[in-house]
Structure formats: C-alpha cells, structure tokens
Amino acid sequence: MLQKNVMRDSRKKWMQLAAIGIIIILSSLTYSMMFYGISGIEEPTESYLEDYNQEDFSVEMLNTVTEQEAQDPEIANVLSEGSFSLSDIKKTDTELFMRLMDNRIKAFEQQIPETNLELRQYKVAYFDWNGNSHTALIAKDAEQINRSFIEQGRKPSNISELALNKIYAEKNNIEIGNSFVLGGEEYTVTGFVLFPDYTLPVFDDSFNFDAALKPLVLLSDSAYEQLNAQERFRLAGSTLDGSAIDTAFDKEQLPFINQILATENTTRSGAIYRKLDEGKTMSLGLSIFIAAIAVIIVSIMIFNLLHAERSQIGILKALGYTGRKSLFLTSSQYPGSLSSCWLSAICWAGLLLNR
Amino acid sequence: MIKLTGVTKTYQSRDIKTHALIDIDLEIDEGEFVVILGPSGSGKITLLNVISGLDRTTTGSITFRGKELTGLSDSEMTHFRRQHLGFIFQQYNLLQNLTVYENIQVGAEIGTDPLDIDELLAKIGLEKMRNKYPSQLSGGAQQRVSVARSLAKNPAIIFCDEPTGFLDEENSKNVLKLLQDLNREYKKTIVVITHNLGISEMSDKVIKMNSGRIIEVTINETQKNAQDIQWGKGSDLLCCRKM
C-alpha cells in the first residue's frame, strides 16, 4: 500500500521531480563538461610544456658585470671602452660575453647543484601596425630549455623569415606567407610558434596582456643577431630531479643574481597553471552554485510537503505507524532521496577534484 | 480497562507554566461509550492525548488492562497504539492518492487481527464507493471511511476527537450511529470528545471538564439511539458544579 501511494503521488508530482532531476543533471553536466573541457586543454598543454622543456625556474641577472667579474683583464678592457651593459659587451666581444655567461652558469651550478642552466637571449622591439603601437618579443631559439614549438608551418631558416605566435597572427589577420615588418626589416612569415616560457605575453613593464598587440617572434639565429633592438638576458633553469627550486641564494657567492623565480610564481611562464586551476575552481564553483539552488528548492519542497501532510503524518502515527513509515507513506521521501543523491554527487565531485 | 490516577500535565514555556491537566482520576471500563465534554482549553484533548500515549504525563499513572503505560518508550508506545487504539479526528485526513478500499487497508495492514474490509465497507454503507477517491466523496462519507480505517485494525478502544465537527446533522447522526453500532455489536470502547451536549445522551458515561480538572462524571442509566439525540445542544459547562 505504501508503494502504491508513493507511485501514485510521484505520478502527480512528475513536474516537480523532473525539475529537480533536471537541476541535478545540469549541475553534474556543468561540472563534467567544464572539468573535461579543462582536462582537454590541460593534458596537451602539460605534454607540450614537458616535451619542449619549460624552465622550472629563471635567474634574473644584473645587466652589468660584478666587481669580481670586472677583475678579468679582458672584461676590464671592454669596460674601459665604455661598454657596461651585458648587451654592449655582447656587441663588442661575443666570445667574451659567452665566456662571462658560462662562468655565471658554472658558479650557479656549483652553489646550487642538481640544476641545469641555459642562457635565454631575447630582444624587445617596438613598432606600429595598423595605427597601433605593438611590442614584440623576439626570442633566440633555445637548444635545451624553453625550446620553440612550431604549431603550424615551419621554422624560419634564413635571414628574411620569421615565425609568430598564432593568436597574434589571427587577431591581426596575418597568415603564413604574409610579410611582416619588424625593426625596419621585412620578413616572410613561415609558421606559428610557441615558447614554453611565454604562456602569457608578459615581456615589458606594462600590465597590458593584449595578445593582439604583443607578438612572440622567432627568427633564424643570424637574423636575430642582426635585428636592431634592445637585447636582454636571463638564465633559464631546470632541476635535474624535478624537485622545486629553493629561490633563496647566497648573494655573496652569486652577486650577479637579482632573483630566482620559480615558474609557478612567474606570470609569463606560470600563468597557464593558474588559469587551469581557476578553470577547475570555476567549474566546481558553478556546479556547487547550481546544486545549491537545487538544495534550496528541495528544502522548500520538503518543508511545504511536511507542512501540507502534517495532519496525515499525525494520523498515521496515531494509528501506530512509526515516524519513518509515516513519512514514507506520504511523499516527503522523494525530495529527501533526491537531495541525498545530489549531496553524494557533490561529495564525489569534490573527491575527484582533490584527487 | 483504562485507569488514570493523579495524572497531571504541565506545559512550560520559558517562565510560564500551563497546567493542562490537574490531578485527574478516571476509570474507563471495557465496552463503555464515554463522552468527554468541555469548553475550549478545558483539557479534553490533552486528556485524550495522554490516555492514548500521544503525549506524556507530567505526574501520575495510566494503566491499560493493568499494564502501566507511563513508563513505556516511544517505540513501545507506538506498538501499544498499533495493537489497541484507534483514532477518529475532526479532519478526516484520508490519503488522497488511495481509494476508499485502500485507505481502509492502510488501517488494516498494521493490525494483528484486522477486520474484513468488505464487511466494514458494508457496515459504513460505502460498498459502491470502494474504488472512489476521497476527493469524490462527501464530508460525511469521508468521515465514515476514516471511522472504518480506524476500526480496520480491530482496536480495543477508539478515541474520537470531535468526529462530527465538520458534518451536518444528518451526516453527523450517521457517523454517530456507526460508532454506537461498533460499541454495541463489536463491544468496542468508544471515547468521544465533543462540545456537543447532545452526543452525551447516547453515552454510558459523561465526563465534564473545565480548566484542566474533571468537574463532573455522570452515569447515564439509559442511552438514546444516535438518530434520536437532540442535535445542536451546546454545552453549558462553565455553570456546572464541581464534583
């Protein structure tokens, strides 16, 4: 009899039950779709960053030589000629510059073992395009860490070719084979490139992250060296055992270092991880929000049902039915069961996310 | 059958104490038709609630066929109600999704020695309505179904709280006749709470209450048939003398 009453009651309340069901399905779908959507981005991104050896940390250096480095007669000679910055030293004597950088890398690896460093050379050029001021970052192709990834087309192979990042090209209607003027030189676009240490185009002091105004550029080595633009340097590093880098260092032993930045704390390289985390949090938050609405609706329904069926429940209890059976005989168990299902689903979702 | 000795019931809300029952001594015999009369707030419903175990006493003792009820746990009390008690209320509270037959079945299902539902349907005169839903019945018919539901599990005693409160005279007398027949034919003990003085004319014992006390117990030597009672006779209890 209890089952009969419940079945008939549920047939009458199909609309309410369907509404709750839809909300629960919506909530689960939102979570699942967003979670899998993010996973769909996360997996290839992580795979790409691993394959192309994204730096684990970067070492920001002084753009000048230290007092100790200045003791070197060859360096002292260059300094006496008026070349003080690293880029000036490189222009004056590239071999000397490379030796200076090797010495810095050795000093670092001696102080902080189990690390591998590579010099990251890049230039920043400013130019106008279609009436807007653009800032380009031109990175020299790396050999080990932060290797460039050509997602379409091919790498530039001669002095008149370059590759751009795809999003910039799309936003500015540039296609492979088009011409692109940079630093007064005209280049042919041969492909679309990505750099693992620039997941977000942050390469100057501005807070403008507009990808339409900030191209990432790859030139052939000879074209890079010939490009007339301000050059900067840092050391890109990776830990050999995959552990996190300790960003504290001995300033006396490593006076050329300004700071060591872990990738996860660096906007240009670690932003992607924060974006992925934000996406996951958003997907859980949104589904919790939808589900919270479901809980409120279910609670109101339970309250109204209990209120409406208070007398019936009382009569049944007076007749000798237990409280549980009385509730079952009325239809209050439906929203209760549904809300229990929902709570279980949310718990599972939470567990999955924290896995 | 049921014996109350020194029963009191006090409700307390913050600093305010309300004495709903004061020093009640009462005995209801097997097969009796008892009417409890009293104005609103006199303690009739509280008395019914504590006798039937729907509420707990503050002090005093209640026994049923010699068994002490006041010490029973909630589940024991539920079991006791299931075994021995039936209830009829002013509101019929039938399950709207079930037919007449099924509503009576709800009562029969929890009894250990239930009555035959078809016989009950014949008794209440609703054989032809057995497959109707409550919303398709008149108030009087619904109350008769409620009586049948209460009776179906074959309880020893039936408590009725204003069973004719929502009915007109004709329907009321039909329901009362049904109760009287149950009392006479099945020897069921019937306890009726009412404002209607006329109903007391068909009872064996009339208990008048006021301000939480029993102020008068009257034994009727003769009982009128339900159809012959004087309908609409209001109670005038406040002027009654105390026992």
Task: Give the mutation candidate from B93, B143, B151, B158 for the A interface (greatest A CB count, under 10 A).
Answer: B93
Give the list of residues 6+ apart from residue A142 with CB closer than 8 angstroms, or none.
Answer: A118, A120, A148, A236
The verdict on a CB contact (< 8 Å) between A329 and B102 is no
B110 contacts in chain A (CB < 8 Å): 319-321
- For all residues of chain A together, what is the average pLDDT? 84
CB-based contact A69:A100 (threshold 8 Å):
yes
Q: Which pLDDT value is given to residue A353?
A: 54
Q: pLDDT tens-digit profile of A99-122?
A: 999 999 999 999 999 999 999 999
How near does any CA of chain B get to the CA of A328, in Å? 12
- Give the distance from residue B92's alpha carbon to the nearest chain A alpha carbon, in angstroms: 9
Task: Indicate yes or no: CB of A9 within 8 angstroms of CB of B97.
Answer: yes
pLDDT at A169: 95
Q: Cβ contact (<8 Å) for A318 and B109?
A: no
What is the number of alpha carbons within 13 Å of residue A150 lying toward its C-beta?
A: 15
Chain B interface includes A4 (CB < 8 A): yes
From chain B, pick out residues whose CB is under 8 angstroms from the CB of A9: 97
- Interface mutation target, options B72, B97, B104, B131, chain A, most CBs of A under 10 Å: B97
Instruction: Average the pLDDT over B82-87 and give the result.
Output: 88
pLDDT digits (tens, 9 = 90+) for B48-72: 889 888 888 999 999 999 889 888 8
Minimum Cα–Cα distance from B54: chain A residue? A318
Out of A4, A12, A321, name the one closest to residue B110 (CB).
A321
Contact A201, A157 (CB under 8 A): no
State the pairing for strand pair B59-64/B16-28.
unpaired
**pLDDT tens track for A71-94:** 999 999 988 888 789 999 999 999
Contact (CB<8Å) B81/A320: yes
- For residues A333 and B108, the model is more confident at B108
- The percentage of residues in chain A with a pLDDT greater than 70, rounded to a whole number, is 88
Chain pair A-B, CB pairs under 8 angstroms = 59
Q: What is the pLDDT of residues A179-198, one digit of tens each?
A: 999 988 999 999 999 999 99
Chain A residue with Cα closest to B99 = A5
B238 confidence band (pLDDT: 50, 70, 90): very low
Share of chain A above pLDDT 90, in %: 45
Condensed to tens digits (0 to 9), the pLDDT of residues B126-180 reads 889 999 999 999 888 898 898 889 888 889 899 998 888 877 888 788 889 988 9
Mean pLDDT, rounded, of chain B: 87
For residue A320, the distance in angstroms to the closest alpha carbon of chain B comes to 4
Q: Which residues contact A71 (CB under 8 A, 6 or more apart)?
A: none
Question: Is residue B13 classed as helix, strand or coil in its secondary structure?
Answer: strand
